[in-house]
Amino acid sequence: MVLTRRHLIAAAAAGVASSAGLGRAAAQSYGQRVPVTGDDGRAVANSILPGEITGQIPGLRGVTYAGPREAQTTLYEFFDFNCPYCRKAAADVVALHDSDPDLRIGLVSNPILSPQSAQAAKVMLAVQRKLGAAAAWGFYRTLLSKPGRIDGPGALTAAAALGIPQAEVEEIADSEEVRLALKSQMRMAADLGLYATPSYVLGNSGILGHPGANAMAKMIASTRRCDRLAC
């Protein structure tokens, strides 16, 4: 059956409702476990995360990666397409990727703000399944560089620009594989207590909110030196 945008929207809304409450029992308590500040000089909320949970992130379905597979440092961003802070964060994450050849980025969808965010997340997962990680990375860059609300129809238009027929994108986006991938990504965010978007996992640390490009670069450098956000 060919799925319509209305079907995609309904399925996305149902997916958010069923996933939002998962994993709350394991949520972490965030404070200033390591004293770090953002580019604005404010304290950045962070926590030391349990390795038994962070160790499961590489096995998540549908994570979009950019950067070398053999990189020793991976920065995971948990984002929502309709988070206003995620727009600034996306530009900084892309800049970090471009300036640090030894860094691997992992994009994890956490569409907690609206059903429209879940629609866009499902389309991104469809792009990744059809065209691969490089296309999904470009899709992320494109959508988060646009002003205004991002929803299913807008995401479908962006996917069509990549050469995928709309009906095919809709079918993949509404597949069981994509539903389970999005559910597992949202469950991971809940298990780690990442209740703000964007949030990050770097090594064994969780970071709530976007600290800014310079602060993030310093945290990456410190993690490489001493496995902490600040040495």
Q: For residues 50 and 4, what is the distance between their CA atoms, to the nearest angstrom?
A: 41
Adjacency order of strands within the sheet including 103-109 = 46-48, 205-208, 199-202, 73-79, 103-109, 64-66
Cis omega before residue 84 (within 30°)? no
Q: Are 101 and 135 in contact (CB under 8 A)?
A: no
* Beta strands 103-109; 205-208: pairing state: unpaired
Mean pLDDT of 71-87: 95
Q: Read off the DSSP letter of residue 43.
A: B
What pLDDT band is residue 28 in, cutting at 50, 70 and 90?
Answer: low
Q: Which residues pair with 207 in a beta bridge?
A: 46, 200
Nearest alpha carbon to residue 147 among 87, 94, 89, 77: 87
DSSP 62: T
Share of the chain above pLDDT 70, in %: 88
> pLDDT (tens digit, 9 = 90+) per residue, 182-204?
999 999 999 999 999 999 999 99
Domains of the chain: 46-226 (3.40.30.10)
Measuring CA to CA, which residue among 124, 133, 131 is closest to residue 68? 133
List of residues 6+ apart from 218 with CB closer than 8 A = 36, 230
The per-residue pLDDT for range 133-173, each reduced to its tens digit, is 999 999 999 999 988 899 999 999 999 999 999 999 999 99
- Are 63 and 107 a contacting pair, CB within 8 Å? yes
Distance of alpha carbon 141 from the chain centroid: 12
Dist. CA 227–CA 198, nearest whole Å: 22
Question: CA 202, CA 205: separation in Å to the nearest integer?
Answer: 5
The count of C-alpha atoms lying within 13 angstroms of the C-alpha of 24, restricted to the half-sphere facing its C-beta, is 5
- Rounded CA-CA distance 155/82 in Å is 12
Does residue 101 register a pLDDT over 80? yes
